[in-house]
Amino acid sequence: MAHEISDLVTLLPQTNQLIGLFSIIRDENTPRSDFVFYSDRIIRLLVEEGLNHLPVEPKVISTPTNEKFDGVLFLGKICGVSIVRAGESMEKGLRDCCRSVRIGKILIQRDEETALPKLFYEKLPTDIDSRFVFLLDPMLATGGSAILATKVLINRGVKPERIFFLNLVAAPEGIEAYVKAFPSIKIITGAIDKGLNDKKYIIPGIGDFGDRYYCI
């Protein structure tokens, strides 16, 4: 790939398993039930990788065999924030890994007059400024919606270094725009595609993730 990947981007290991999962959800002939099932598997991998980036401190525990084990304890609380609508598909994967996790939502749509992303709605935990935040959106295309959503989080007091942006597929153009806007926020993605076409769709891409996931 001609584009240079930023150090802020963590790409999931491109194993045969992961490529196989993407082969299923990228296929236009994949039925919705399979699309949802295998997308959920990738989302779970993304969340698990995101958790790897959270800070920990040493903790010694006692095991049932009366032995000590040098373990670790996660520091701080987390929450998820989904960019509605497609981002909501990633909430289950986060809940599967983190019991009773708080979830916020941000709705951003394109302004028909300016063609720019516009904030329409936000509902966030009141203590979000003290949490680590997993920002959830399956596709990073131009980066416009993600950048606006991240500004909302920062305006609510979330420190940039506490934000992790999780997505299944990213375009190099979107990565470049997002990293330029937020040079201290990590992106965790499952795939980096070739780029955007003239309609700003990711290619080879997946299609409209929200439509395929929710069958609308």
pLDDT > 90? residue 216: no
- Residue 114 annotated in active site: yes
Tokens of 49: 């990788």
Distance between alpha carbon 119 and the CA centroid of its chain, in Å? 19
- Residue 41 annotated in active site: no
CB 140 within 8 A of CB 173: no
* 153-184 per-position pLDDT tens digit: 999 999 999 999 999 999 999 999 999 999 99
pLDDT of residue 1: 37
Helix, strand, or coil here: 4? coil
Handedness of CA 156, 160, 164, 168 (dihedral sign): positive
Lowest-confidence region among 21-30, 57-66, 118-127, 207-216: 207-216
pLDDT of residue 117: 84
CB 170 within 8 A of CB 201: no
pLDDT of residue 2: 40
CB 54 within 8 A of CB 98: no
- Give the number of other CB atoms < 10 A from CB of residue 176: 14
Burial of 172 (0-12, 13-18, 19+ CB in 10 A): buried
Architecture of domain 9-55+74-214: 3-Layer(aba) Sandwich (3.40)
Quote the Cα angle for 174-176-181, to 5°. Answer: 95
From the candidates 63, 114, 126, 198, which is the catalytic residue?
114
* 81-134 per-position pLDDT tens digit: 999 989 999 999 999 999 889 999 999 987 767 667 889 999 999 999 999 999
pLDDT of residue 100: 86
pLDDT of residue 54: 94
The DSSP symbol for 138 reads S
From the candidates 110, 127, 137, 198, which is the catalytic residue?
110
pLDDT > 80? residue 12: yes
Average of pLDDT values for 61-89? 95
- Give the number of other CB atoms < 10 A from CB of residue 215: 11
pLDDT-based confidence at residue 7 (cuts at 50, 70, 90): confident
Taking phi over 0 as left and psi of -120 to 50 as alpha, with beta for the rest, 143 belongs to left
Q: What is the mean pLDDT of the chain?
A: 93
pLDDT of residue 115: 63
Global pTM?
0.92
